[in-house]
Chain A
């Protein structure tokens, strides 16, 4: 599965009311290309912190469904976040890891996720569900099953490589923040 196809499958499986946090690099660029929305928080810097932003949102907005989409490089950079999330165990948080075993956005340098079983770490840390999937069908199914039943950790094996000529995130960081806050207010209002 290509990462772009995984992102398409994620967007298709969700019902559209979720708040999405996407990590820096190609993941945010592909998400904005697949479906731009004020409900997407494109984290363009602060590598590693997408899951932490998701946790802060999930704890503060127990009625909203939060979905984090990040890469294996992001998870490895902030492994403590898995322990904190497992401890507070918000039902409304799904953490999706698009695992291509490398830092694709900076030239494909290998990470260590080919040996570290990240979904096992999540399971051992108290996530209610942790799985590894390899097809779009499995990914869609597990996401639909996990809504409201988290914290869920879904590791998706994807191929290296990006869609050629993919656009950058065009909104300014302040725009991303302000329209996301507006989306939060409309969802909670």
Chain B
């Protein structure tokens, strides 16, 4: 388990300096932490695809962006992934919360909770599931594959790891 401020520090140490997204309860402490951090500003978007557009603009401007979302928002991100960020090779870190993990959640999260990793695989998006013992490992591995592949990569965050 890490604190939100340690987690944000980890993102910054890897060079991330721009963030957009749509909140999730699992991400709330991270977003709170970023809301007062000028080194990793967070621009709240109305939808996840809008967040990906904003992050794309930031990348073109020379920033290294993170997009945060609940996995429900992966649904609205499929087209920007396929026809913008993978197509133009725009690297960014997608920090996606895993609602519906192991089928234990509110009913609206169960289908996406089950389908999420398969959707990422189908799109060819590399992903890492962040472990409780060592969150840094997944972030480092994500950054490595983001730099190698030059496309968006996903780090999946379950409940209870960042607090």
Contact = CB atoms under 8 A, between A and B. Distances in A.
Contacts of B110: none
B60 A177 contact: yes
Contacts of A83: 46
Contact of B61 (A46, A50, A61, A88): A61
A177 B89 contact: yes
A45 B60 contact: no
Interface string A76-116: 00101101100010000000000000000000000000000
A45 B61 contact: no
Given A46-B83, A80-B45, A176 B60 contact: no
A49 B56 contact: yes
A81 B46 contact: yes
8 contacts: A49-B52, A52-B56, A53-B56, A56-B55, A56-B61, A57-B60, A173-B87, A173-B88
A84 B18 contact: no
A47 B46 CA distance: 16
Nearest to A174: B89
Given A45-B79, A80-B46, A53 B87 contact: no
Given A49-B52, A174-B88, A184-B62, A58 B43 contact: no
A150 interface: no
Given A49-B53, A81-B46, A81-B50, A43 B84 contact: yes
A46 B62 contact: no
Interface string B1-21: 000000000000000001010
B57 A56 contact: yes
Interface residues on B, range: 20 to 34
Interface residues on A, range: 35 or more
B58 A49 contact: no
Q: Is the interface of A mostly helix, strand, loop or mixed?
A: helix
A162 to B, nearest CB: 21
B80 interface: yes
A57 B57 contact: yes
Interface string B38-69: 00000111110111111111111111010000
A56 B52 CA distance: 9
A153 interface: no
B50 A84 contact: yes
Contacts of A45: 79, 82-84, 87
B84 A41 contact: no
B46 A56 contact: no
A56 B54 contact: yes
Contacts of A51: 53
